[in-house]
Structure 1
Amino acid sequence: MNLLELHARSLELAAAVVDAVQPEQLVLPTPCGDWSLRRLLEHLVGQHRGFAAAAGGAGPDLAYWRDVPVHGDPAGAFRHSAGRLTAAFAVAVAAADPRPAPLWLPEIRDDGPLPFDRAVGFHLLDTLVHAWDVAVALGSPARLVAAVESEPALAGTLLALAGAVPAGTADRAPGRAFAAVRAAGEAAGPFDRALALLGRDPAWAVPVG
């Protein structure tokens, strides 16, 4: 699989996780600081819109990156926006001469556009990690982890992308996308190792009581 195919696969796996979300579960906490499940899903749909706009040539306008309300149909909102993003990436590649133009991602980087492949890779990483955030909030991350790890190309890409994220003190300060790198156990698989590289606790669970 090439990077775009792996990206599309990551969206398919994430959508399958979001399909299980029930309206009453939107208030659940997530590993993303103080974000509820609703807030996380609205962020994901907003990111789909932002990346799609960037692939279509939008400049550094943060208006494209606002969270998008999911109302009572988070799965529908996720799948619709993911489909538009996949199409936007495909159009950018088809129109490439000789390669797709760099993408402006102002919410992520404000000092210039990123090369197309790096932008796609970043979204693939974000998709799978946030899919895990959703799955663990629902109490069922094992299926997602097993699905990713059953596809060596996808699991290897996830781990490589996580390892490439800057890990300096300034890069992992409070308010940043990822926390300080954690140690992974010797028996950890590639998904848990990727989570640890990004500062996620693979053992995180919704607090009881």
Structure 2
Amino acid sequence: MDPRALYTRSLDQLAMVFAGVTPADLDRPTPCTEYDLRTLLGHVVGGIHRIAYVGEGGRALDLAATVGEIDDTDWSGALDRARARVAAAWSDDATLDRVVDAPWGEAPGRLVLTGYLTEAVTHTWDIAQVVAPAEALDEELALISLGMAQQVLPADGDRTGSPFAALRAVPAEADAYSRLAGWLGREVPLAG
């Protein structure tokens, strides 16, 4: 699979959610409990720069996972700059099959980019819970990301040392984003 179109789609959706961020929101907590919204936005933009750097041939852990200071009114601009960089870095088809250095080890570029797809989709949900909880998100992206998360993080696996909490139960009728969030250990708000 070529994950570039899906990753671009996930960044388009992320841009829609970023557009709803106001300076008044930046100190609010997020479902990604170690981050307030400002820190999570910095982590997301930093992650996009990191996967761009990997596509450019760099080692992932040589680049910080978060960006430095961003003006409170420039989060969408920061995201746009990161998006342009990642599009250029992954434009060559050969990058997909080249072994690249990810935070978790070496793997083919297409696999690493798919991991970053799951990160972008998950953090889109995290941010949307703060700024637009009723916003309809792309269900297909969540289903693909959930499938990846289930392969990498088995339900009964040890998550010690990983950034993911233990699996949380969600209602059987939950949408794909809620199931993904629960799989990654996030507290999922109950409907109603």
For the aligned pair, the TM-score class normalised by the smaller chain equals 0.7 to 0.9
Provide the C-alpha distance between the structure 2 equivalents of 1:104 and 1:46, rounded to a whole number of angstroms.
16
Paired residues for 1:43-192 under 5 Å: 43-59=43-59, 62-68=61-67, 69-72=69-72, 73-91=74-92, 93=93, 96=94, 100-105=97-102, 108-109=103-104, 112-138=105-131, 140-143=132-135, 146-149=136-139, 152=140, 154-167=141-154, 170=158, 172-173=159-160, 176-192=162-178
Where does structure 2 lack aligned partners over 5 or more consecutive residues? none
Q: Kindly indicate whether the alpha-carbon contact (under 8 Å) linking 1:125 and 1:161 is maintained by their aligned counterparts in 2.
A: yes
3-state SS in 2 of match to 1:142: coil
Confirm or deny: 8 A CA contact 2:45 2:66 kept in the other structure. Answer: yes
Root mean square deviation of aligned Cα: 2.1
The one-letter code of the counterpart of 1:200 is: R
- Cα separation, partners in 2 of 1:184 and 1:5, compared to 1, 3 Å: same
Please, which moves more after superposition, 159-168 or 15-24?
A: 159-168
Task: Compute the displacement of 1:9 (Å).
Answer: 0.1
1:38 and 1:70 in contact (8 A); partners too: no
Structure 1 segments unaligned to the other structure (5+ residues): 205-209
CA apart distance, 1:147: 3.0
For 2:77 and 2:145, locate their aligned partners in 1 and report how far apart those are by CA, in whole Å.
25
> Between Structure 1 and Structure 2, which shows a larger proportion of strand residues?
2
Shift of 1:114: 1.8
Alpha-carbon distance, 1:169 to partner: 5.0
**TM-score normalised to structure 1 length:** 0.80
The residue number in structure 1 matching 2:28 is 28
> Contact 1:49–1:65 (CA<8 Å) still a contact in 2?
no
Cα deviation for residue 2 of structure 1 reads 4.5
Q: Is the 8 A contact 1:158 1:191 kept in 2?
A: no
Judged with a 3 Å threshold, the aligned counterparts in structure 2 of structure 1 residues 156 and 66 are, in CA distance, closer, same or farther, namely closer
Separation in structure 1 between the aligned mates of residue 133 and residue 150 of structure 2, nearest angstrom: 21
Residue 130 of structure 1: CA displacement? 0.6
